[in-house]
Amino acid sequence: MQPPTKITSAVIAVAAAFGLAACSTTVTDSSAATSATSTSSTTSTSSGGAATAANAAASSSKLLADNVTSHAEADDAAYDSVDATIALKDGASTTSSDAGVAISGDTITISAPGTYQLSGTLSNGSVVVASDAEGKVRLVLDNASITNSAGAAIAITAADEVVVVLADGTTNALADGTAYDTSAEDAPDAALFSMADLTIAGSGALTVTGNTNDGIASKDGLVIQAGDVTVTAADDGIRGKDYLIVEGGTLNITAADDGLKSDNEADDTVGYVLLTGGSVTVSAGDDGIHAEGDLGISGGTLTVTKSNEGIEGANIVLAGGATTITASDDGVNTSSGSGGGGGMGGGPGGGGMQDDGSLLQISGGTLVVDAGGDGLDSNGSTEISGGTIVVSGPTSNGNGSLDSNGGITVTGGTVVAAGSAGMAESPNSASTTGWLQVNFNPAVAAGETLSIVSDGKVLASFTTTKEVANLVFASPDLSSTGSYDIYLGGTLASDKVGTFSAGGSIDGAASLGTVTAGQATGGMR
C-alpha cells in the first residue's frame, strides 16, 4: 500500500463534489385533526441557510480529504502494444514471448511489468502475477475464461500495481473453486484476488463467480473505472481493503454477505468506499455497501434491491447520484463503532442515546429508502442541506423513519419520511428549512396517497408503500410557522422520486385536517 498522503486529483474531485452540494398534529379520523401535544418551532432566514450550507461544504470536504491516495489514473486502460499474447488452452497454453511469462501445465505465471493479452479457456487452471519490479502489470482479457477448482482464477501475489482491462466487445469469465483452504495469512480468497493495488477498466464484460469467499478482492486499493461486471459471491461481492472506488461501468452484484466493502480498520484514512459514477445494482445478504471508514456517493446510480442494512459507514456523505435502497433493517446507518449507539449492525432505533461522533450528511442527489428498521439512522448527527430524500420506514414502533443520537438539522433539500409513530423524530431547532410532522390515528394503509396543500396548491404528494402512522415533510416550500392542509386520496404529479412528487392533484381527495409547521408530535422530540 502507498503511504498515507493527501488526496490525489480523483479524490479531490470527489471531495469537491461532496462539498457542493414544520408542522404537526395527530390526525384521529378522516375529517378532523387534533392539536399537537408539544411544539418545537424553527425560524428560517436566507443568510442563516447560506452560512449553514457553507459550513456543510467545508465539513464534507474535510471529512473526505484525509483519506489515503487513490492509485488509479485516467489512462490506466490505454496501451499501444502488448508485450506478450497468451493463448489459454487446457494442457496446451502458449505465449508469444517467454519474457515475463512462464507456463507450467495449466498455471500461467507473469513475473514482470508489461501488457499481457489473454484469450481462450482454462477449465481448471490459473493465472498468477508475481512481479517484484516497479511498474504496472496490465492484463488485457480478450474473451478469456478461467476456472480454478483449487483456488483463485487470477491470483496477484505480488506487483507494484495491476490493471485488468476488459477488451472492447469481449466477454470474459473468472471462477474459483468451492471450499479451498483460505486460512493462511494473505491466502487468495477470491476468484479475482490481488495483494496489490488493482484497477478494472475497459468496455468489455466480465462475469466473476466467487464460490468459496469473495468475488473480487484486493488487500490494497481497488478502483473500478469501467466495464460490464457481474459478480456472484459466497461472501462479499467486491472488496478493497484500503479503499474501494467506483468511477464508472455497470456492476451487478449478488453476495451472501456484503455487496461492496472496504474493511481496513487501521485508522480514519482507510477503509473508505466512494461512488462517483457508473451504475451499481446490489443484492446482499448483509450490507449493500459497508465501509469501516467513510462512505460517499457523488454520482452514478446505486440500487440496493436486497440487504440487511442498505449502506453503512463510520461517516456517510451523499452529494449526488440516484440511490435506491431496500433493507430489512436500517436503510442508511452511520456509526463510528464507539459510544452508546450500538455500533454497526443496526438494531432497534431511537434518539436519545449517546452521540458517537459519526455524521450522515446529505447535500444533493436523490435517495429513496424502503426500510424495515430505521430509515435514516445516525449514531451521531444528521445534516441535510440539499437533495431529495424519500423514506418509507418501519411499521414497528421500535424503529423510526428518521433516527439520530445527535439530532437532525435540515437547512435545504426536500425530506419525506413516513413510518411508525413510536420512535418518530423530527428536525431540530437548528433547522432553517420549514418542516411539518403528522401522526395518523388510525394509521394510513398502504397504497394511499397523502397530499400537503397550502391555499389550494398541492405542495407535495406521497403514496404509502406500507402502513404509515407518522409523516415528516421538510421543504423550502414550507414556512417555519405556516398552516397546511392534509388530504387523503389524491394523485401524484408525473415527475416523481420514488412515490413522492412535488405537486399533484387532490381531485376526489378527502381533507384530514390542518397542521402547523414546526411542531413535533412524534415519539422522539
Give the pLDDT of residue 521: 80
Buried b / exposed e across 422-460, counting CB within 10 Å, b at 16+?
Answer: bbbbbbbeebbbbbbbbbbeebbeeebbbbbbeeeebbb
Residue 480 has pLDDT above 70, yes or no: yes
Q: What is the mean pLDDT of residues 183-200?
A: 97
Q: What is the mean pLDDT of residues 338-349?
A: 41
Helix (H) or strand (E) holding 403, with range, is strand 402-404
Write out pLDDT tens, residues 369-425.
999 999 999 999 999 999 999 999 999 999 999 999 999 999 999 999 999 999 999
Give the pLDDT of residue 311: 98
Q: Do residues 428 and 438 make contact, with C-beta atoms less than 8 angstroms apart?
A: no
Phi, psi of 185 (to 5 degrees): -60, 130
Q: What is the mean pLDDT of residues 1-12?
A: 33
- What CA–CA distance (Å, rounded) separates 348 from 329? 9
Q: How far is CA 144 from the centre of its chain?
A: 31
DSSP secondary structure string for all residues of 430-447? T--S-EEEEEEEEEEPTT
Residue 361 has pLDDT above 60, yes or no: yes
Split at pLDDT 50, 70, 90, the class of 32 is: very low
Q: Do residues 122 and 94 make contact, with C-beta atoms less than 8 angstroms apart?
A: no
Residue 2 has pLDDT above 80, yes or no: no
Split at pLDDT 50, 70, 90, the class of 253 is: very high
Write out pLDDT tens, residues 41-54.
333 333 344 444 44
Q: What is the mean pLDDT of residues 454-463?
A: 97
Between 9-19 and 46-65, two packed helices, what is the crossing angle to 10 degrees? 160
Residue corresponding to grid cell 497454453: 93
Q: How far is CA 277 from the centre of its chain?
A: 12
Q: In percent, how much of the chain has pLDDT > 70?
A: 84
- What CA–CA distance (Å, rounded) separates 272 from 276? 13
Hey, is 79 helix, strand or coil?
A: coil
Residue 419 has, within 13 A of its CA and on its CB side, a CA count of 34
Phi, psi of 424 (to 5 degrees): -65, 140
Hey, is 61 helix, strand or coil?
A: helix
Q: Do residues 298 and 246 make contact, with C-beta atoms less than 8 angstroms apart?
A: no
Q: What is the mean pLDDT of residues 190-209?
A: 98
Give the pLDDT of residue 1: 37
Give the pLDDT of residue 413: 98
Helix (H) or strand (E) holding 275, with range, is strand 272-275
Nearest CA among 133, 303, 160, 157 for reference residue 217: 157
Q: How far is CA 512 from the centre of its chain?
A: 37
Give the pLDDT of residue 55: 54
Give the pLDDT of residue 64: 74
Q: Do residues 146 and 177 make contact, with C-beta atoms less than 8 angstroms apart?
A: no
Give the pLDDT of residue 27: 39
One-letter amino acid for residue 181 of the chain: D
Of the listed ranges 161-175, 218-232, 298-312, 329-343, the one predicted with least confidence:
329-343
Q: In percent, how much of the chain has pLDDT > 90?
A: 82
Q: How far is CA 398 from the centre of its chain?
A: 25
- What CA–CA distance (Å, rounded) separates 421 from 428? 17
Split at pLDDT 50, 70, 90, the class of 451 is: very high
Q: What is the mean pLDDT of residues 22-44?
A: 32
Split at pLDDT 50, 70, 90, the class of 59 is: low
Give the pLDDT of residue 119: 98
Decide: residue 397, CB within 10 A, 0-12 exposed, 13-18 middle, 19+ buried. middle
Residue 459 has pLDDT above 90, yes or no: yes
Nearest CA among 457, 520, 469, 471 for reference residue 499: 471
Output DSSP code: residue 248.
S
Phi, psi of 521 (to 5 degrees): -125, 10
Nearest CA among 323, 343, 474 for reference residue 405: 343
Q: What is the mean pLDDT of residues 72-89?
A: 97
Give the count of beta carbons closer than 10 Å to the beta carbon of residue 55: 13
- What CA–CA distance (Å, rounded) separates 473 from 478? 9
Of the listed ranges 180-189, 351-360, 433-442, 474-483, the one predicted with least confidence:
351-360
Q: What does pLDDT average to over the chain?
A: 88
Give the pLDDT of residue 38: 28
Give the count of beta carbons closer than 10 Å to the beta carbon of residue 351: 24
Grid coordinates belonging to 290: 459497508
Residue 15 has pLDDT above 70, yes or no: no
Helix (H) or strand (E) holding 14, with range, is helix 9-19
Grid coordinates belonging to 465: 408503500
- What CA–CA distance (Å, rounded) separates 390 from 377? 14
Q: Do residues 369 and 325 make contact, with C-beta atoms less than 8 angstroms apart?
A: yes
Could you tell me which residue, 9 or 176, shows the higher pLDDT? 176
Q: Do residues 433 and 475 make contact, with C-beta atoms less than 8 angstroms apart?
A: yes
Q: Do residues 507 and 11 make contact, with C-beta atoms less than 8 angstroms apart?
A: no
- What CA–CA distance (Å, rounded) separates 321 from 389? 12
- What CA–CA distance (Å, rounded) separates 387 from 359? 17
- What CA–CA distance (Å, rounded) separates 63 from 15? 8
Give the pLDDT of residue 474: 98
Residues 6+ apart with CB under 8 A from 9: none
Residues 6+ apart with CB under 8 A from 525: 38, 40, 425, 426
Q: What is the mean pLDDT of residues 102-107?
A: 98
Give the pLDDT of residue 62: 66
Residue 142 has pLDDT above 70, yes or no: yes
Q: Do residues 420 and 400 make contact, with C-beta atoms less than 8 angstroms apart?
A: yes
Write out pLDDT tens, residues 507-524.
999 999 999 999 988 653
Residue 100 has pLDDT above 70, yes or no: yes
Grid coordinates belonging to 360: 450522515
| Global pTM value | 0.89
